[in-house]
Amino acid sequence: MNAFSRQGKALPIKVRNNIVGKWLNNEGIANISRQFNLPYKTVSNIVDLWVDNGDIEPRQPHREASRTAHTNDVKTYIEYLKTTKPSIYGKEIQQELQSNNLCLPENVPSRSSISRVLEADVGWSYKQISQIARETERPDVMEKLHRRHFRNRL
């Protein structure tokens, strides 16, 4: 192990600059890796990154769409949809979120994220999620659910 790195963490920019500088001075990758006490593959990856991009910044995990499954509005709406219509599928919940402008098409939560919201955040069991409750089909219960949902909104 060397003095300037920890496993799972990116090397400091100063060390990366030194590696690229030595490589530009025609030192071999194997020689550089021995000097810095780093694995050959690490030095090779840094040099390849510089050759490909002209940049030595460590790669960051790439996430295109922002996560919206965990915003309070989305959680509340998912719970509302599943409570008012227990037989609703994840695909239908996705369509509802999109059609009611709670999510953009590129960041609608996946069906597994919707299930995760119902299980972890709302506290429903798998059985509660998958069963169709008959009492929610009665008009008086539906009215009570609508009042409860919209009272929290005001």
Q: What mean pLDDT do residues 31-53 have? A: 91
pTM: 0.45
The C-alpha atoms of residue 76 and residue 149 are separated, in whole angstroms, by 8
| Per-residue confidence (pLDDT) for residue 66, from 0 to 100 | 52
Task: Render pLDDT for 4-20 as a digit per residue (tens, 0 to 9).
Answer: 666 667 888 899 999 99
Q: What is the pLDDT of the chain when averaged over all its residues?
A: 80
User: Can you tell me the distance from the alpha carbon of 114 to that of 94, in angstroms, rounded to the nearest whole number?
Assistant: 8
Report the pLDDT value the prediction gives residue 72, as an integer from 0 to 100: 84
Count CB atoms within 10 A of the CB of residue 103.
21
* pLDDT single digits (tens) 77-95: 888 888 888 778 889 999 9
Burial (CB count within 10 angstroms: exposed 0-12, middle 13-18, buried 19+), residue 85:
middle
The token duo for 56 is 């030595």
